[in-house]
Amino acid sequence: MSHSKRTASGATKGSSTSKRARTTCTDPDCTDGSCPDCADGAIHLDPAVLSLPASELLDLAEHEDRTHCDRSIVTSLYEHALSKCTTPELRARALLRLAEYVGYADYASQAIEAADSCVIKGRARVLRVCLDPNNWVDPNVESSERVYGVDELAKGLKEIESGLSGAEKDVVLDSVVALMGRVDAHELCAPLCHRLTDTALSVSYAALGWTESADPESEPTDPAEHAELAQAASAAAVRWSQSATECSVPGTRIESRLRHILTYLAKQTNSSEACKLRAQIMLVLSSALDDDDAALRAFDSAVESLLLAHKISPNDEDVVRQLADLDIDISTV
């Protein structure tokens, strides 16, 4: 019997050493049936990790979550952190993280009860709505134009926006990633997807200073500081534009809403990923804009972005496929 050994590692905040969750056996192909670490197939966290206080254990769980560690390990870390929480706010944070990670509405409900934080309450409410199967797309049923739990959704999104007002960019980024995680976890109905991505854009814009009156051409004060949030907002913009067309949002409105994103992406001339994101948005605009000339310009701009992405990363099969779908022969360009 072969068992794959699963380990968790990550430095805790404020510590110069790395705490590791691992089994005693380090052989990834151990076939010894008498090996105590392999025989039961369970997750054995390092005692040094289990001895951490709740806050550090939760930090470690979040770190392993972000780095896509083995799901069983991350779940176990969150559960152990939750079992050690002694304050309502820390318990609420742990409940939310575990609820979002395993997709369990009851944990979300408990988080709402325990939390004082508007952001935690809001994200937990949004999660409960997203976990309702009535809001998932069923290929055998005509897509719904309504959101089940729309009042709770509105309350949750309002709490998120209110709680993130004036927050640091990394705090905003965490919630943007969480909102997009809900979009990606299930194929949500278009109206729900649109509401989530719209909030992701709104809080990102506020944190980045991309207001209606701001000049999109103006360079950010510190590009390195805001790059991660801008990239997350750009990914959200793609999904927003797609859901916007499904919700019959006019093309001119889509273009106006995304002008900051499009300007930002156009400046990332050394990033294949940025070029691909911009191309996806421009392709949406090419089909959403009523003016034929504007639509054609959007299509040409999408092709230009994809060709630039191909120039940066010639082995990117996704770019090659997209160009082929658009009948662009890369051998002639």
Span 287-313, pLDDT tens digits: 999 999 999 999 999 999 999 999 999
Return the pLDDT at 213: 80
Report the percentage of the chain scoring pLDDT > 90: 75
In the predicted structure, residue 61 carries a pLDDT above the cut 90: yes
In the predicted structure, residue 58 carries a pLDDT above the cut 70: yes
Q: Decide if 240 contacts 216 (C-beta within 8 A).
A: no
Query: Could you report the per-residue pLDDT of 5-20, keeping only the tens digit for each?
Result: 333 443 333 333 234 4
Question: What distance in Å separates the CA atoms of residue 248 and residue 287, rounded to the nearest whole number?
Answer: 12
In the predicted structure, residue 280 carries a pLDDT above the cut 80: yes
In the predicted structure, residue 37 carries a pLDDT above the cut 80: no
Q: For residue 124, give both structure tokens.
A: 């937990």
Q: Decide if 240 contacts 194 (C-beta within 8 A).
A: yes
Residues contacting 157, CB < 8 A, separation 6+:
122, 126, 195, 196, 199
Identify the weakest region by mean pLDDT among 140-144, 197-201, 278-282.
140-144
Question: What distance in Å separates the CA atoms of residue 228 and residue 153, rounded to the nearest whole number?
Answer: 27
Return the pLDDT at 90: 97
> For 188, phi and psi rounded to 5 degrees?
-80, 155
* Average confidence (pLDDT) over 139-164: 92
How much is the mean pLDDT over the chain?
Answer: 87
Report the percentage of the chain scoring pLDDT > 70: 85
Query: Could you report the per-residue pLDDT of 96-118, keeping only the tens digit for each?
Result: 999 999 999 999 999 999 999 99
Return the pLDDT at 14: 37
Number of continuous H segments (helices) and E segments (strands) in the chain: 16, 2
Helices of type H across 46-149: 47-50, 54-66, 71-84, 88-102, 105-114, 118-130
Q: Decide if 99 contacts 107 (C-beta within 8 A).
A: yes
Q: ∠ at Cα 323 (321, 327), nearest 5°? A: 110
Q: Tell me which amino acid residue 231 is.
A: Q
Query: Beta strands of the chain (E only): which ranges?
Result: 8-11, 18-21
In the predicted structure, residue 33 carries a pLDDT above the cut 60: no
Q: Decide if 77 contacts 64 (C-beta within 8 A).
A: yes
Question: What distance in Å separates the CA atoms of residue 76 and residue 171, rounded to the nearest whole number?
Answer: 24
Residues contacting 109, CB < 8 A, separation 6+:
124, 128
Helix%, strand%, coil% for the chain, nearest 5: 65, 5, 30
Which helix (DSSP H) or strand (DSSP E) does residue 127 occupy?
helix 118-130
Return the pLDDT at 333: 66
Identify the weakest region by mean pLDDT among 158-172, 182-196, 213-227, 238-252.
213-227
Sign of CA dihedral 174, 178, 180, 185: positive
Q: Decide if 236 contacts 177 (C-beta within 8 A).
A: no
Q: Please give the model's pTM, rounded to 2 decimal places.
A: 0.85
Question: What distance in Å separates the CA atoms of residue 268 and residue 196, rounded to the nearest whole number?
Answer: 26
Q: ∠ at Cα 135 (132, 141), nearest 5°? A: 125
Return the pLDDT at 214: 79
* Average confidence (pLDDT) over 217-233: 78
* Average confidence (pLDDT) over 44-70: 93
